[in-house]
């Protein structure tokens, strides 16, 4: 099996460090490529592993208004280490007879090799849908200073594109992709069977993507939630990554409540790979139930 390139890991870490200013630097261990696929109606869906980063439980990222000890208690109850918080960085591929759509591109870590495992070449991708412009979602758009997916139209909400263009930390990526971006108004259908959904608070134009085929649905919720433990046990706890924290907390609680009621299958790109499953109500909070469909 092809191993993850340490040079790529260093580049990804530099990108993350440049964006999350004021937030403790994440460790980014070498990541093996992986691809887990399943059917959604007539669509072929593939969860793609890109990277993983590990944040210290130091009160600077999760539970900003609570102590590391309180966060540690949540982690301990879930059987996880109490001194660190591990987040996956993953992407989603949606294949039909007429299109190959990639949702988000990670930091550009193991994504290309994961696509190879899925039998897809970079030139095969004709649409890239971006949930938001943080570098762990757009970093993989560029490789060696050029478009990583040369035949793809890049789609993100108009509000998010304006935000990306104003963000100096995204300037190098924006310069390369600018002529290939086609913005949209949140709420419209972007591709056959894929509709954008405004999910406010994380970034100004953050969206998710509702994927439907026949009676089956899958909702890519982007960064509405990050930790499969903390974000579900305490959705009202402030998170450093959110640009509008009160709005993000309100959206998180509302979205989780709806998902638990509807039992809809979701893809959460920062949950443990492959990040596909359901949200269930668990007393006064929520819990993650991974799906056994992706293989």
DSSP 68: H
Q: Which residues of the chain have pLDDT under 50?
A: 1-25
What whole-number distance in Å separates Cα of residue 179 and Cα of residue 147?
11
How many beta carbons lie within 10 A of that of residue 17, not counting itself?
15
Rg (CA), the chain: 18
- Position 137 scores a pLDDT of 98
CB 130 within 8 A of CB 140: no
**Beta strand pairing call for 84-95 and 43-56:** antiparallel
| Distance from the Cα of residue 57 to its chain's centroid | 21
Q: For residue 153, what is the enclosing H or E element?
A: strand 153-155
Exposure pattern of 119-154 as b/e (b: 16+ CB <10 Å)?
Answer: ebebebbebbbbbbbbbbbbbbbbbeeebbbeebeb
- Position 9 scores a pLDDT of 37
- Position 30 scores a pLDDT of 73
- Position 2 scores a pLDDT of 34
Q: By CB neighbour count within 10 A (0-12 exposed, 13-18 middle, 19+ buried), where does 168 fall?
A: exposed
What whole-number distance in Å separates Cα of residue 245 and Cα of residue 202?
7
Q: What is the pTM of this model?
A: 0.92
- Position 31 scores a pLDDT of 83
- Position 13 scores a pLDDT of 37
What whole-number distance in Å separates Cα of residue 295 and Cα of residue 287?
22
């Amino acid at each position: 099996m092809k191993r993850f390139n340490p040079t790529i890991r260093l580049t990804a870490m530099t990108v993350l460090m440049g964006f999350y200013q004021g937030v403790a630097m994440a460790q980014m261990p070498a990541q093996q490529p992986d691809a887990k696929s399943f059917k959604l109606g007539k669509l072929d869906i593939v969860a793609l592993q890109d990277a993983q980063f590990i944040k210290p439980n130091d009160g600077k990222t999760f539970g900003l208004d609570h102590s590391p000890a309180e966060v540690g208690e949540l982690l301990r109850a879930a059987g996880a280490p109490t001194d660190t918080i591990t987040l996956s960085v993953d992407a989603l591929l949606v294949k039909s007879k007429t299109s190959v759509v990639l949702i988000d591109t990670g930091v550009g870590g193991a994504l290309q090799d994961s696509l190879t495992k899925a039998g897809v070449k970079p030139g095969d991708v004709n649409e890239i849908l971006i949930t938001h412009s943080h570098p762990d979602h757009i970093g993989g758009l560029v490789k060696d200073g050029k478009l990583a997916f040369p035949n793809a139209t890049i789609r993100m909400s108009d509000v998010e594109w304006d935000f990306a263009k104003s963000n100096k930390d995204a300037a190098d990526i924006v310069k390369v992709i600018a002529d290939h971006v086609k913005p949209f108004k949140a709420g419209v259908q972007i591709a056959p069977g894929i509709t954008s959904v405004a999910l406010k608070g994380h970034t100004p134009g953050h969206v998710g993507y509702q994927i439907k085929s026949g009676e089956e649905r899958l909702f890519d919720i982007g960064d509405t939630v990050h930790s499969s433990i903390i974000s579900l046990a305490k959705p009202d706890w402030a998170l450093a990554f959110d640009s509008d924290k009160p709005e993000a907390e309100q959206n998180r609680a509302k979205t989780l409540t709806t998902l638990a009621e509807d039992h809809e299958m979701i893809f959460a790109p920062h949950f443990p790979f492959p990040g596909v499953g359901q949200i269930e109500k668990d007393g006064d909070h929520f819990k993650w139930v991974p799906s056994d469909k992706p293989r």
